[in-house]
Structure 1
Amino acid sequence: MPPSLTRATAARSTLDSRLLPGLLVTTAGVALAIAVNALVPAVSPLMAALVLGAVTTNLGLSSPALRPGLQFAARGPLRLGIVLLGAQLALPDVLALGLPVLLPVVVTVTATFFGTQWLGRRLGLGRELSLLVATGFSICGAAAVAAMDGVTDSDEEDVMTAVALVTLYGSLAIAVLPQAEGLLHLSPEAFGVWAGASVHEVAQVVATAQAVGGAALTTAVVVKLTRVVLLAPLIAGVTLWRRRTAAPTEGRRPPVVPLFVAGFLAMAALRSLGVLPPASLAALKTAETLLFTAALFGMGAAVRLRALLRTGRRAVALGALSTTLVTLVALAGVTVLA
């Protein structure tokens, strides 16, 4: 074996051994997060993993030996999870909604994304935190936050704050929106559009629409997945903007379409063309959840709660304002449709 190849093999072996302790801890964290979700279904595995990772670090249970593996877990599984997320999208189902539904959804996403960032600046929050909250609230919650974190220089505390806000206000929507449906006298289809266009997480949308059931649930899921489709162009747009505005001295610019976003689009195309066997979709969904859970555990392990608490009140205010914005804009769209 050539000396250069021997050195490369030795370096790879050393790197793998450095990753192993952190990856083992991450695996245990994922298993515990899944168990928490099984005991308390209202707590998603992603949120449970994020909290468990933060607890591990802030109680002094972590060590420098775990850091390489935890840092890898926060990035590698995230990108693969986003690729698999594309398998849940059947574009014909999205297009079947028609322009009268698609247009209000796009308007809601756009207004929430840019409006939340403006509100964040008005509250004195950092640009990165405002961007993450805007992405999570306008698209698909924790997965969107993690995806945007993959193309930005956000602190892990910002990621944890954004995911916590998604969980808090999305959970409130599960209780509030079905009650409002009775007061507003919306049809099941109209309520489905409202829930799908305004509630943050896919699981939260399902829980909200199940209170009405029937056409409301089916419509809400398809509308929500329409928002998920917009994740790819949103990330590409942010990346392109940063390429154009970054100083030349900041190093190599990222690609306009990151590889994991291209993979997301490829999986969506395969699902839409019927190439993926129906029996494989459940397995892909499970793998996606496990990968995102691992990534959120790694992110949580990098969080320092003291730094997080410094932005607490203003971040909570931003979450409340952003939730109000997305809910009212979506409701206005539903009213126009009616």
Structure 2
Amino acid sequence: MPSLSAARTLPGLAASAVAVLACLALHRLLPGFPVLTAAVVLGLLAGNLPGTAAQVTGAWKPGLALAAKKFLRLGIVLLGLKVSLVDIAGLGWLTVLLLAALVGFSFGMTYLVCRAFRLPGEEPVLIAAGFSICGVSAIGAVAAARQVRQAQTAVPVAVVTMFGTLAIGVLPLLSSLLGLAPEVFGFLAGAAVHDVGQVVATAQTAGTAALALAVVVKLVRVLMLAPVSALAGLHHRRRSGHEGKLPPLIPLFVAGFLAAVLLRTTGILPADVLGAAAAVQDLLFAAALFGLGASVNVRSLLRTGGPAVAASLVSWLIIVGAALLLALLLVPAG
């Protein structure tokens, strides 16, 4: 017999499972539409359409909250199995250092822009993390390090997903207008697009060479998840003083992410295990993003989210410009 608390999560988990299956089917029909983007969209619909909104705030709420928090963290751990330090070292240490500097620049500029637009609370830090590192995964990690409540992540998740999805259509058009070589475009996609899945969807339009470089460049940014989370946690500790319970500098699931990176780097895991882990990670992220999307009140977002969208647009343009400059400097055009 399941416990009472476990039974309360079943309706929401079942709804998440159905949503994930729908997202997979939609992606199969429209390969250019990423599964994770579809999950956010379905979540938004579920949380705001009259027929399902009552379920989202009622019977589905415990299960959706579990998916949004726990599944996201488990997915972040498995994300580490995509990062091989050997592949990253293959870029050359100058390139790796410049990409790390780009992450720092992107974080700092996004934070300053969001502050200039007077975004409230932790939104500037969360949006900066999402834009500079790896989208919703980074938002989840930094939110945990800074003890940010899930409800406060709704706007950052929405804008990071919006502009990551926008990149899938805009960056190939920009590449065509500028006549970028495939490798240059691949570097640009890996350096400027938020989520790994969105990077793949963007870069594959220019062929396998662009896709291969884009993924490795993106994984350098993903690797920055741990140090940025630690710095965010350290800043929160100092700001909070020594009173009350403080979060760990590195949340347990981020430590798990680092352990997964080291495990992948050893090369001992067979390809079929890595493939299965990647598939499970996609399912976990899709369920989590459905839950996060369902928590967004669209009317409230439209009423109060204008400054966040404007700040995100300015930040995104700055990041794309900086990433393009770095791509042109580092990647041979021919």
Do these two structures clear the TM 0.5 threshold for a shared fold by scoring above it?
A: yes
Q: Determine the structure 1 residue equivalent to 2:261.
A: 268
Q: Determine the structure 2 residue equivalent to 1:240.
A: 234
1:249-328 superposed matches below 5 A: 249=243, 251-328=244-321
Which letter does structure 2 place at the counterpart of 1:243?
R
Pairwise CA RMSD of aligned residues?
2.4
Query: Which SS does the other structure have where 2:3 is aligned?
Result: helix
Larger Rg, first or second structure (1 or 2): 1
Q: For residue 207 of structure 1, report the CA deviation from its aligned partner.
A: 3.0
- Contact 1:178 / 1:208 at 8 angstroms: preserved in 2? yes
- Report the identity percentage: 45
Q: Determine the structure 2 residue equivalent to 1:194.
A: 188
| TM superposition score normalised by structure 2 | 0.88
Partner of residue 16 from structure 1, selected from 2, 6, 30: 6
Distance 1:186 1:65 in 2: 51
| TM superposition score normalised by structure 1 | 0.87
Which letter does structure 1 place at the counterpart of 2:323?
A
Moved more, 109-118 or 51-60: 51-60
Q: Determine the structure 2 residue equivalent to 1:44.
A: 34
Q: For residue 185 of structure 1, report the CA deviation from its aligned partner.
A: 5.2
Q: Determine the structure 2 residue equivalent to 1:7.
A: none
Moved more, 285-294 or 300-309: 300-309
Distance 1:229 1:114 in 2: 18
Distance 2:314 2:218 in 1: 20
Distance 2:320 2:274 in 1: 31
Q: Determine the structure 2 residue equivalent to 1:28.
A: 18
**Structure 2 CA distance for partners of 1:14 and 1:156, relative to 1, 3 Å:** closer
1:136 aligns with 2:130: yes
Distance 2:199 2:58 in 1: 39
Unaligned runs of 5+ in 2: none
Q: Determine the structure 2 residue equivalent to 1:221.
A: 215
- Contact 2:158 / 2:293 at 8 angstroms: preserved in 1? no
- Contact 1:205 / 1:221 at 8 angstroms: preserved in 2? yes
- Contact 1:78 / 1:147 at 8 angstroms: preserved in 2? no
**Structure 2 CA distance for partners of 1:56 and 1:184, relative to 1, 3 Å:** closer
Q: For residue 54 of structure 1, report the CA deviation from its aligned partner.
A: 3.3
Q: For residue 31 of structure 1, report the CA deviation from its aligned partner.
A: 2.0
Q: For residue 48 of structure 1, report the CA deviation from its aligned partner.
A: 2.4
Moved more, 321-330 or 261-270: 321-330
Which letter does structure 1 place at the counterpart of 2:186?
G
Deviations 1:57-83 (CA, angstroms, capped at 9, x unpaired): 332341533322222222111111111
- Contact 2:145 / 2:249 at 8 angstroms: preserved in 1? no
Distance 2:143 2:292 in 1: 10
Deviations 1:281-336 (CA, angstroms, capped at 9, x unpaired): 11101100111111122222322223222333212211211111111212222343
1:122-201 superposed matches below 5 A: 122-154=116-148, 156=150, 158-181=152-175, 184=178, 186-201=180-195
Which letter does structure 1 place at the counterpart of 2:110?
T
Which letter does structure 2 place at the counterpart of 1:254?
P
Distance 2:168 2:175 in 1: 12
**Structure 2 CA distance for partners of 1:218 and 1:51, relative to 1, 3 Å:** closer
- Contact 2:144 / 2:251 at 8 angstroms: preserved in 1? no
Distance 1:296 1:112 in 2: 24
**Structure 2 CA distance for partners of 1:297 and 1:243, relative to 1, 3 Å:** same
Q: For residue 156 of structure 1, report the CA deviation from its aligned partner.
A: 4.9
Partner of residue 117 from structure 1, selected from 88, 95, 111: 111
**Structure 2 CA distance for partners of 1:175 and 1:54, relative to 1, 3 Å:** closer
**Structure 2 CA distance for partners of 1:22 and 1:243, relative to 1, 3 Å:** same
- Contact 1:157 / 1:304 at 8 angstroms: preserved in 2? no
**Structure 2 CA distance for partners of 1:39 and 1:126, relative to 1, 3 Å:** farther
Unaligned runs of 5+ in 1: 1-9
Which letter does structure 2 place at the counterpart of 1:288?
Q
Partner of residue 92 from structure 1, selected from 57, 73, 86: 86
Distance 1:36 1:230 in 2: 32
**How many matched pairs?**
327
**Structure 2 CA distance for partners of 1:206 and 1:104, relative to 1, 3 Å:** same
Q: Determine the structure 1 residue equivalent to 2:61.
A: 67
Distance 1:41 1:129 in 2: 32
